[in-house]
């Protein structure tokens, strides 16, 4: 059972919940938890959410409200400090990055709220003082949809953004969907053998992974996590 100790509004549709979980033994950057809510009539709904916090920090979930979601409207719009809900985890051992002494560059590609587990990796890198080269390519609809907007410049990593629907005056980033040409320009060269993590909606993840393979990146170096929302 987790208790909400702090809430942070990230965008009009996204909120971070910081939790106190008795007996929490820690997590790895990239893992997720299952959240279960039980209605007064006994109906239960369960969804998986990535952990946004670095290992060693209190578990935090960053949730995007989906209009047809069963859990997300409640978690984003209604939860207040002191509320409690069931939590299972941490879960996952494939889509994780550990500070293990390796020197391969870290290339992260995020679509929308797919940035959450990648943010945990960048926060972990910063917290341990890692000097591994790191780069984040982050695709959002508009500047107002950029999650962790104020923190991105403080991560000590190169952050490249693309806004696919609306760009503000003077925007210096990309203004289109991630494509092979963009990946060629932004990604580390395949011969540097970067560790690649891609997270976002299914179509986005598949297109990015296929583009990276076409550019010569080894499939075994590309780890993906996808979700069904848009």
| Same domain, residue pair 84 and 114 | no
pLDDT at 128: 92
Q: What is the mean pLDDT of residues 89-105?
A: 90
Whether this prediction's pTM lies above 0.75 is answered by: yes
CATH code assigned at 19: 2.40.30.10
| Same domain, residue pair 141 and 28 | no
Q: How far apart are CA 31 and CA 118, in angstroms?
A: 10
Q: What is the mean pLDDT of residues 155-169?
A: 94
What is the pLDDT confidence band of residue 229, given thresholds at 50, 70 and 90?
very low
pLDDT at 228: 58
User: 35 near 51, Cβ under 8 Å?
Assistant: no
Domain residues for the domain of 133 are 106-227
Give strand pairing partners of 61: 17, 51
| Same domain, residue pair 16 and 111 | no
Quick check: helix, strand or coil at residue 30? coil
Q: What is the mean pLDDT of residues 94-102?
A: 88
In a domain, 98, yes or no: no
For residue 195, is pLDDT > 60? Answer: yes
| Mean per-residue pLDDT over the chain, rounded | 93
Q: What is the mean pLDDT of residues 139-166?
A: 94
Q: How far apart are CA 79 and CA 17, in angstroms?
A: 9
Look at residues 49, 65, 91 and tell me which one is the last residue of a structural domain. Answer: 91
Total domains present in the chain = 2
Q: What is the mean pLDDT of residues 97-124?
A: 93
Q: Which of 89, 141, 87 lies closest to 114 in space, CA to CA?
A: 141
């Amino acid at each position: 059972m987790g208790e909400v100790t702090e809430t942070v509004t990230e965008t009009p549709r996204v909120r971070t919940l910081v939790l106190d979980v008795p007996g929490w033994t820690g997590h790895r950057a990239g893992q997720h938890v299952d959240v279960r809510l039980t209605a007064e009539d006994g109906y239960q709904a369960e969804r998986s959410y990535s952990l946004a916090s670095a290992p060693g920090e209190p578990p935090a979930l960053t949730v995007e409200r989906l209009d047809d979601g069963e859990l997300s409207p409640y978690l984003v719009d209604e939860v207040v400090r002191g509320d409690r809900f069931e939590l299972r985890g941490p879960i996952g051992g494939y889509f994780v990055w550990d500070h293990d002494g390796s020197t391969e560059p870290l290339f992260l590609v995020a679509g929308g709220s797919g940035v959450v587990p990648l943010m945990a990796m960048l926060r972990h890198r910063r917290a341990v003082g890692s000097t591994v080269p790191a780069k984040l390519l982050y695709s959002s609809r508009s500047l107002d949809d950029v999650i962790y907007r104020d923190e991105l410049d403080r991560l000590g990593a190169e952050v490249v953004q693309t806004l696919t629907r609306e760009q503000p005056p003077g925007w210096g980033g990309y203004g289109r969907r991630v494509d092979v040409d963009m990946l060629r320009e932004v990604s580390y060269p395949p011969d540097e053998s970067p560790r690649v993590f891609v997270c976002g909606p299914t179509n986005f993840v598949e297109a990015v992974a296929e583009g990276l393979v076409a550019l010569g990146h080894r499939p075994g170096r590309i780890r993906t996590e996808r979700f069904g929302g848009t």
